[in-house]
Amino acid sequence: MPRHMNDCPPPWIALPGLSPDDPATQGVAEAYVVLTWLPFWQSQSTGARAAYLDRWQASPAWRAVIAERYDADPEMIAQDAREAAAWAAAHPPAPLRRPWWRRRL
């Protein structure tokens, strides 16, 4: 049950088997985090986020994961995207090879 009228249960409550080491893999966990929890989290102010983590008794591991993955500075995210694009441009994919069973002998 939410601890505040507008609270969205955090991932460690909504998905009890989810580890802070792997907070959003695939399937239900990813859908909950990306479609439900993350929009709620992003709508909160810095102070409200801290109070939320306190209310839901977030472990130090969950706090660290949330800070690293979901509290990133938008400019830092844009810089990461630019660096990833530059790396991808400098490292084109290897040419496709036929599977061994389709190669001519």
Left, alpha or beta for 57 (phi > 0: left; psi -120 to 50: alpha)? Answer: left
Digit-coded pLDDT (tens) for 71-92: 877 777 567 667 777 887 888 7
How many structural domains are present in the chain?
A: 1
70, part of any domain:
yes
58, part of any domain:
yes
pTM value is 0.64
26, part of any domain:
yes
In angstroms, what CA-CA distances link 75 with 16, 80, 82, 93? 33, 9, 10, 28
100, part of any domain:
no
How many CB atoms are closer than 10 A to CB 87? 9
46, part of any domain:
yes
49, part of any domain:
yes
Digit-coded pLDDT (tens) for 4-60: 557 899 999 998 888 888 755 667 787 888 888 888 998 899 999 999 999 999 999
- Show the domain range for 23: 11-94
